[in-house]
């Protein structure tokens, strides 16, 4: 049973856009922010799952493809016209592939993953950065969803792991470039949160030694609470990198 501590918005931070909000980490995080009293914008390709996330909360449904800059700009524009500003972005949308050696992966599948995980994250961050830089008072916070794979790869994960290393580069650079505009940027690296995408871990997934093994998982609510904590800090403080993971998962010493 999860005992949740509700963290209320602070330092006049009150609005957030969450990409990939129709399921998994994005949905859980959006619902945590809604419960904490934030104005929440829900970004995803399909409208129906976003409406399921929103429920009766009044959260903004901003259906768009994060790889399409015109759609992203229009969605963010709707948020600004509704709230007057955007205080935070949880840059969360992403996809994965079934584990396999790189030569067994179709190039089109690799290209699609990189388009969503890298270009989608860049486009979403670019739009938020532009708004935060121009709004008055200036500033905001961008939180990128990395992965423990940004540090240590899982077997057969070359495209996904490479995409998450790119996110770390984006985080570091936005942290540097954002200083002049009061824009903070941090990254949350998640390990084995139990979402639909992680159910396979409860049944057995390939290990580096060639074996199959069940891996420990954690409730996705812990991720949502962690993102809420990061976003609720005053802009004078920043969680640069946070790793939140199932304690006994094979990460430290993976392989």
Pairs from 98-104 (Cβ < 8 Å, separation ≥ 24):
98/156, 99/154, 99/155, 99/156, 99/157, 99/205, 99/206, 100/156, 101/156, 102/158, 102/159
Q: 3-state DSSP call for residue 31?
A: helix
Per the CB < 8 A criterion, the answer to whether 97 and 160 are in contact is yes
Residue 123 and residue 78: Cα distance in Å, rounded?
16
User: Widest CA span of the chain, in angstroms?
Assistant: 55
Q: Is 160 a catalytic residue?
A: yes
* The one catalytic residue among 144, 160, 170, 220: 160
**Residue 224 contacts residue 24 (beta carbons within 8 Å):** no
Whose CA is closest to 221, among 44, 25, 16, 41?
25
**Active-site annotation, residues:** 160
């Amino acid at each position: 049973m999860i005992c949740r501590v509700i963290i209320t918005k602070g330092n006049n931070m009150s609005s957030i856009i969450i990409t990939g909000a129709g399921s998994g980490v994005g949905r859980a995080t959006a619902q945590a922010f809604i419960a904490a009293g934030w104005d929440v914008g829900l970004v995803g390709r399909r409208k129906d799952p976003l409406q399921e996330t929103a429920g009766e909360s009044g959260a903004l449904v901003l259906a768009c493809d994060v790889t399409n800059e015109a759609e992203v700009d229009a969605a963010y524009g709707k948020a600004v016209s509704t709230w007057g500003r955007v205080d935070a972005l949880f840059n969360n949308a992403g996809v994965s592939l079934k584990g396999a050696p790189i030569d067994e992966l179709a190039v089109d599948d690799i290209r699609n993953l990189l388009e969503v995980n890298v270009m989608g994250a860049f486009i979403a961050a670019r739009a938020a950065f532009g708004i935060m830089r121009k709004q008055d008072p200036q500033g905001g916070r961008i939180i990128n969803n990395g992965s423990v794979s940004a540090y240590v790869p899982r077997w057969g994960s070359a495209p996904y792991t490479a995409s998450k290393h790119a996110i770390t580069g984006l985080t570091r650079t936005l942290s540097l470039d954002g200083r002049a505009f009061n824009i903070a940027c941090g990254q949350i690296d998640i390990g084995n949160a139990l979402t639909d995408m992680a159910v396979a871990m409860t049944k057995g997934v390939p290990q580096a030694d060639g074996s199959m093994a069940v891996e420990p998982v954690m409730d996705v609510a812990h991720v949502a609470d962690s993102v809420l904590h990061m976003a609720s800090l005053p802009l004078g403080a920043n969680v640069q990198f946070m790793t939140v993971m199932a304690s006994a998962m094979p990460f430290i010493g993976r392989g």
